[in-house]
């Protein structure tokens, strides 16, 4: 505000205003004094009660209690995989440094008990992590090793700052036994391949926890929520049979060699797998080790990607994951399809002149000069390509393809293992006359070993196709049965009459035909040989095989042997290599299976 002369009028701070300001200040001062007084009063009268209330809401400590992963057993209770309790040595650096008298005796006790723990390593931790409450000094020690330190600790109260954390480590007592079936685990109890992967959730449990808190009386109260351990898996594998099979594979490769060998033994009457093996059986306790398969020099030249590819090839289950052309072991399926559709009859005969000209191609029989007139049974026992091509032509592409899929080819069997392949078929709309002719005796399409055994089992067991499985039972941590895996009938594949015909033909094939090398003294064996030329055909490499059953008239076991590119032999295209190999295995495993 200005006066008439244009000068600003100055407002004065009067005595009255000073008095008001002083009054406000005094009121605020009195209020603060009252509040402080009230806090002092509460602290003296109820301070302990409020302190307890706050402390009771604070967590004091917590510790995870690890679960024990369930074991994997063979059908007779032999432990194939188990989790053993171990201990990790934990150092509480802050606690160690709370008093000068703790350091020297604690370091001395640790270095005397454990060679890998040095005075220098602890000194470094003291310098770099003085506030740390959790440092792992050593992992996976046993109970006896832990007690070495515990005994020293009990004798000297100045040994402080060290405690032991429980953990479990996966162990495989038989190392390479059934490795492609069992699989292994990685950090965090994660199953890789085999049963370990497929049944990972069943094998794993739930971690427990132990935690403490200060109650209203300022006392430490501890509460423990125990861990829930994993379930036990009882497999269908027979450890004795599996071991015998693996020994024979090893012996064959030491004497001759092969690109790969697969052997599958199954009960045809319920789909239980008794043995499943191939070349690359690795040590489950050290699955990353490449040295059994490659030289150190070759490994040193591999980059990380190449090493991973090499490991995946080793871990891969040849029996269910690899596909190939089955060759003449497929002939019983072609014949069965014709019988079921009444396209052919069991008393039919065929003239074999050494081959057929189909679609402009001459396709030869195994006997280039011809078998002459053969019966339907002889078409199988002599493995006559010419007769099979004639049967395939009568069936036609539609019927042939329908039965291929009906018998389970070109699709997964549903076995309880990861990594199952499907194989490739030529669809009926793309199947020309030449394709049909060659497919009739097991070429131009691919299959897996598990498909072949499942389908063949149904041909010889009366016509019942059972889903193959590798697990027999699941038990809870207390040993009670949670689940029994019963046989699963998927379909009825052929009539009892057709099955009887196939069984008789398979028996005669071993007694009089191409599979005589598969005979086993004291047993009636039935089976079929196979020789399949691999692609590219110009390489002249072969897969030889034998699929058989014992006893021939009422099978209790089916065996399938596949040898991919046998080495150091006179002639690779020789199915007797596989039949001899099968006979050697059968002569040893049949008594273990109590088949007489």
- Are 331 and 203 part of one and the same domain? no
Last residue of one domain, picked from the residues 201, 235, 269 = 235
CB atoms within 10 A of CB 499: 21
CATH number of the domain encompassing residue 468: 3.40.710.10
pLDDT-derived band at 49, boundaries 50, 70, 90: low
pLDDT at 53: 53
Last residue of one domain, picked from the residues 179, 200, 235 = 235
Assess if residue 246 is contained within a domain: no
Range of the domain at 205: 66-209+225-235
CA distance 480 to 291: 42
Least confident of 8-12, 281-285, 304-308: 8-12
CA atoms within 13 A on the CB side of 39: 6
pLDDT at 82: 98
Assess if residue 583 is contained within a domain: yes
pLDDT at 50: 56
Does residue 139 carry a pLDDT above 50? yes
CA distance 179 to 239: 12
Does residue 44 carry a pLDDT above 70? no
Provide the token pair at 30.
Answer: 């009195």
Does residue 493 carry a pLDDT above 80? yes
Does residue 229 carry a pLDDT above 60? yes
- Are 231 and 359 part of one and the same domain? no
Assess if residue 453 is contained within a domain: yes
For residues 528 and 546, the answer to whether their CB atoms sit within 8 Å is yes
Provide the token pair at 463.
Answer: 């016509």
Tell me the percentage of the chain whose pLDDT exceeds 90: 82
CA distance 484 to 489: 15
- Say which residue the tokens 């690109």 belong to: 259
Does residue 16 carry a pLDDT above 60? yes
CA distance 245 to 238: 11
Residue 228 neighbours by CB under 8 Å, 6+ apart: 67, 205, 206, 208, 477
Tens of pLDDT, residue by residue over 57-92, are: 444 567 888 999 999 999 999 999 999 999 999 999
CATH number of the domain encompassing residue 168: 3.90.1310.10
In eight-state DSSP terms, residue 316 is S
CB atoms within 10 A of CB 244: 22
In eight-state DSSP terms, residue 538 is G
Does residue 211 carry a pLDDT above 90? no
- Are 333 and 193 part of one and the same domain? no
Tens of pLDDT, residue by residue over 345-358, are: 999 999 999 999 99
**Size of the chain in residues:** 596
Assess if residue 295 is contained within a domain: no
CB atoms within 10 A of CB 381: 23
pLDDT at 171: 97
Instruction: Average the pLDDT over 298-318 and give the result.
Output: 96
Instruction: Average the pLDDT over 573-595 and give the result.
Output: 96
Sheet of 542-550: strand order equals: 273-278, 258-266, 557-566, 542-550, 526-533
Instruction: Average the pLDDT over 492-505 and give the result.
Output: 98
For residues 456 and 231, the answer to whether their CB atoms sit within 8 Å is no
Instruction: Average the pLDDT over 392-403 and give the result.
Output: 97
For residues 467 and 488, the answer to whether their CB atoms sit within 8 Å is yes
The CA–CA distances, whole Å, from 257 to 254, 482, 580 equal: 6, 44, 15
Assess if residue 277 is contained within a domain: no
Assess if residue 448 is contained within a domain: yes
Provide the token pair at 585.
Answer: 């295995």
pLDDT at 452: 98
- Are 423 and 537 part of one and the same domain? yes
Instruction: Average the pLDDT over 236-245 and give the result.
Output: 98
Phi, psi of 493 (to 5 degrees): -85, -45
- Are 356 and 495 part of one and the same domain? yes
- Are 374 and 230 part of one and the same domain? no
CA distance 352 to 444: 22
CA distance 439 to 330: 9
For residue 298, which of 307, 286, 308, 288 has the smallest C-alpha distance?
307
Least confident of 219-228, 393-402, 467-476: 219-228
On the 0-12 / 13-18 / 19+ scale of CB atoms within 10 A, 131 is exposed
- Are 521 and 378 part of one and the same domain? yes
- Are 445 and 552 part of one and the same domain? yes
Assess if residue 147 is contained within a domain: yes
For residues 315 and 282, the answer to whether their CB atoms sit within 8 Å is yes
Tens of pLDDT, residue by residue over 509-535, are: 999 999 999 999 999 999 999 999 999
- Are 200 and 329 part of one and the same domain? no
Helix (H) or strand (E) holding 577: helix 576-592
Longest dimension (CA), the chain: 145
CA distance 277 to 261: 8
pLDDT-derived band at 216, boundaries 50, 70, 90: low
CA distance 203 to 210: 23
Q: Could you give the 3-state DSSP secondary structure of residue 420?
A: coil
Least confident of 139-143, 218-222, 231-235: 218-222
The CA–CA distances, whole Å, from 389 to 349, 354, 364 equal: 13, 12, 10
pLDDT at 7: 52
Average pLDDT, the chain: 92
pLDDT at 56: 47
Tens of pLDDT, residue by residue over 434-481, are: 999 999 999 999 999 999 999 999 999 999 999 999 999 999 999 999
CB atoms within 10 A of CB 570: 6
Work out how many domains the chain is built from and give that number.
2
Tens of pLDDT, residue by residue over 93-108, are: 988 998 999 999 999 9
CA distance 481 to 170: 23
For residue 108, which of 94, 93, 97, 118 has the smallest C-alpha distance?
118
Question: Can you name the residues that pair with 222 across neighbouring β-strands?
Answer: 212
Higher-confidence residue: 368 or 557? 557
Instruction: Average the pLDDT over 574-585 and give the result.
Output: 97
Tell me the percentage of the chain whose pLDDT exceeds 70: 91
pLDDT at 574: 95
Assess if residue 420 is contained within a domain: yes
- Say which residue the tokens 């050697």 belong to: 584
Instruction: Average the pLDDT over 416-444 and give the result.
Output: 96
For residues 293 and 254, the answer to whether their CB atoms sit within 8 Å is no
Cis peptide before 536 (omega within 30 of 0): yes
pLDDT at 187: 87
Q: Could you give the 3-state DSSP secondary structure of residue 63?
A: strand
CA distance 141 to 167: 10
Give this prediction's pTM: 0.86
């Amino acid at each position: 505000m200005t006066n008439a002369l244009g000068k600003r009028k100055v407002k004065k701070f009067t005595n009255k205003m000073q008095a008001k300001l002083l009054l406000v200040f005094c009121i605020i001062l009195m209020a603060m004094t009252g509040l402080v007084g009230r806090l002092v009063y509460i602290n003296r009268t109820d301070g302990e009660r409020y302190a307890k209330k706050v402390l009771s809401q604070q967590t004091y400590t917590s510790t995870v209690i690890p679960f024990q992963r369930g074991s994997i057993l063979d059908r007779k209770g032999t432990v194939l995989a188990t989790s053993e309790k171990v201990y990790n040595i934990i150092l509480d650096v802050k606690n160690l440094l709370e008093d000068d008298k703790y350091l020297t005796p604690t370091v001395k006790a640790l270095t005397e008990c454990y060679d890998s723990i040095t005075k220098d390593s602890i000194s470094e931790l003291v310098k770099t992590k003085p506030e740390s409450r959790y440092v792992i000094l050593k992992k996976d020690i046993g109970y006896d090793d832990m007690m070495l330190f515990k005994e020293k600790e009990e004798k000297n109260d100045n040994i402080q700052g060290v405690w032991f954390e429980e953990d479990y480590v996966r162990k495989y007592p038989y190392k390479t036994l059934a490795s492609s079936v069992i699989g292994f685990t990685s950090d965090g109890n994660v199953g890789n391949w085999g049963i370990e992967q497929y049944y990972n959730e069943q094998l794993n449990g739930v971690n427990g926890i132990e935690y403490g808190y200060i109650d209203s009386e300022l006392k430490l109260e501890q509460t423990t929520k125990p861990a829930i351990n994993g379930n036990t898996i009882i497999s269908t594998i027979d450890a004795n049979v599996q071991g015998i099979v693996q020994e024979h594979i090893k012996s064959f490769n030491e004497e001759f060699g092969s690109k790969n060998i697969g052997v599958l033994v199954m009960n045809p009457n319920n789909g239980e797998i008794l043995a499943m093996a191939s070349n690359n059986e690795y040590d489950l306790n050290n699955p990353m080790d490449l040295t059994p398969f490659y030289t150190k020099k070759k490994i040193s030249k591999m980059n990380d990607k190449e090493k991973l590819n090499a490991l995946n090839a080793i871990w891969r289950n040849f029996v269910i994951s690899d596909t190939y052309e089955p060759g003449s072991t497929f002939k019983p399926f072609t014949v069965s399809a014709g019988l079921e559709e009444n396209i052919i009859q069991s008393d039919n005969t065929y003239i074999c002149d050494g081959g057929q000209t189909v679609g402009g191609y001459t396709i030869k029989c195994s006997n280039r000069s011809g078998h002459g007139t053969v019966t339907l049974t002889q078409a199988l026992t002599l493995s006559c390509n010419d007769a099979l091509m004639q049967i395939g032509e009568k069936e036609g592409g539609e019927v042939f393809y329908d039965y291929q899929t009906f018998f389970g080819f070109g699709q997964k069997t549903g076995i309880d293992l990861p990594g199952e392949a499907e194989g490739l078929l030529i669809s009926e709309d793309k199947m020309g006359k030449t394709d049909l002719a060659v497919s009739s005796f097991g070429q131009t399409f691919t299959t897996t070993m598990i498909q072949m055994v499942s389908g063949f089992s149904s041909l010889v067991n009366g016509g019942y196709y059972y889903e193959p499985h590798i697990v027999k039972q699941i038990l809870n941590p207390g040993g009670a049965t949670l689940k029994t895996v019963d046989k699963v009938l998927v379909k009825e594949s052929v009539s009892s009459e057709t099955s009887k015909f196939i069984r008789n033909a398979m028996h005669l094939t071993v007694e009089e035909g191409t599979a005589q090398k598969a005979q086993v003294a004291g047993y009636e064996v039935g089976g079929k040989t196979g020789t399949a030329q691999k692609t590219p055909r110009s390489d002249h490499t072969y897969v030889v095989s034998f699929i058989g059953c014992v006893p021939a008239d009422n099978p209790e076991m089916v065996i399938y042997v596949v040898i991919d590119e046998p080495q150091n032999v006179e002639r690779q295209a020789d199915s007797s290599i596989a039949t001899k190999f099968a006979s050697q295995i059968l002569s040893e495993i049949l008594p273990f299976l109590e088949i007489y």
